[in-house]
Structure 1
Amino acid sequence: MAATGDEAAAMDSISRVSVMAHPTALNLPPPPAATAAGDSDLQAGAGEGAAPPPPPKKPSTNSDGGVETAEEAVEPAEPDIDELCTDMFDKMAVFLQGELTATCEDYRLLENMNKLTSLKYMEMKDISINISRNLQDLNNKYACLQPYLDQINQIEEQVSSLEQAAYKLDAYSKKLEAKFKKLEKR
């Protein structure tokens, strides 16, 4: 059931008085009547020189049959924006400094790793040069020994053929001995 004009005005005045009585209850700034001059007047009392409270506003009604409209709540004042911005920029500077420091440390680590790898490859190069030099020396020595190795191979072949001849001679001498014994028995 919608409130009529008199009832709506009474409700509006009640809500305004409760807000004016306890401005901290809703975290609202004090009403305009509570200025420095108004505070001294209020302390003097409601008697002489006190400004009368402003008359309650008549609620605006629309064609819906006297529906009361709400007023927009005012948010409490934010802390000092300059201090917050300075704090944010300081923290961003610290963050970015940390990021840049970490990146520099990563590059320094990569540089050290590259130096160590380069040194390792230099050592491996020296080792491979030494191995190559030793291999060439061995090849030269083998080339110098090759005629002697060929002579050894020839001597081995000759010894092998002499051995075959000795086996044949042995077999032949056994046959002759057998014939001689046979003739001797006769």
Structure 2
Amino acid sequence: MEEQPTTSASAAQARDQEHNPMLDSPMRGPTLSTSTSSFEALAHAHDPNLSKLATKMFQKTEEYITQELNAPLEDYKLLEEMNKATIAKYKDMRQIAENLNVSTNELCGKFQQLAPLMQQIDDISDTVDKLEAAAYKLDAYSIALENRVKCVLQRKSTQQTVG
């Protein structure tokens, strides 16, 4: 009993397809496809100019779609090249940073080796400053002593000439 409605439904679909003017092809009668993009072999002659234009349209459409699909690929290639250049640049910068780190460590070691010598130089500089101050005092004392000696000699010479 259940098979009968299924059969009658199939018959109804077939009847609808036969009488539906939207599904009829002008050349072949009823069809299930309403697609206009497929080429059907036509029994009658067609316009060669229209065929050339359709072929040209499909070629141009193919070129357009190909370019549209290739544009993101070109973008990805550009990004890949930029990434490679960035990687190379960061690799160079890393090498420079490592070299600077090694140089800084070497300079730090040399500075630590020179620290006692620099302390000695500072001590010598302090000693030289003290010696310079003592030399200025000695020079001032010797000038004062010389002036006193000249004064004493002048007194003696004036006493001898007076006396």
User: The TM-score by the shorter chain falls in which range?
Assistant: 0.5 to 0.7
Query: Matched residue of 2:88: which SS?
Result: helix
Which residue in the other structure is 1:176 paired with?
A: 145
Displacement of 1:87 in angstroms is 5.0
- Paired with 1:181 and 1:120, the residues of 2 have a C-alpha distance of 82
Displacement of 1:88 in angstroms is 3.8
Q: TM-score scaled by structure 2? A: 0.59
Following TM superposition, the consecutive aligned residue runs of length 4 or more in structure 1 with deviations greater than 6 angstroms are none
- Paired with 2:124 and 2:118, the residues of 1 have a C-alpha distance of 10
- Paired with 2:60 and 2:113, the residues of 1 have a C-alpha distance of 79
- Paired with 1:175 and 1:116, the residues of 2 have a C-alpha distance of 80
Which residue in the other structure is 1:107 paired with?
A: 76
Q: TM-score scaled by structure 1? A: 0.52
Per-residue CA deviations over 1:122-167 (Å, capped at 9, x if unaligned) read 0111011101110111011011101110110111011011111011
- Paired with 2:102 and 2:114, the residues of 1 have a C-alpha distance of 18
Q: Tell me the number of residue pairs that the alignment of Structure 1 and Structure 2 aligns.
A: 108
The structure in which a higher percent of residues are helix is 2
Structure 2 counterpart of 1:167, which letter? Y
Displacement of 1:86 in angstroms is 5.8
Using the aligned pairs only, state the percent identity: 42
- Paired with 2:148 and 2:80, the residues of 1 have a C-alpha distance of 96
Which residue in the other structure is 1:156 paired with?
A: 125
- Equivalent residues in 2 for 1:1-186, closer than 5 Å: 83=51, 87-185=56-154, 186=156
Displacement of 1:103 in angstroms is 2.2
- Paired with 2:141 and 2:148, the residues of 1 have a C-alpha distance of 11
Runs of at least 5 residues in structure 2 that lack an aligned partner in the other structure: 1-46, 157-163
Runs of at least 5 residues in structure 1 that lack an aligned partner in the other structure: 1-78
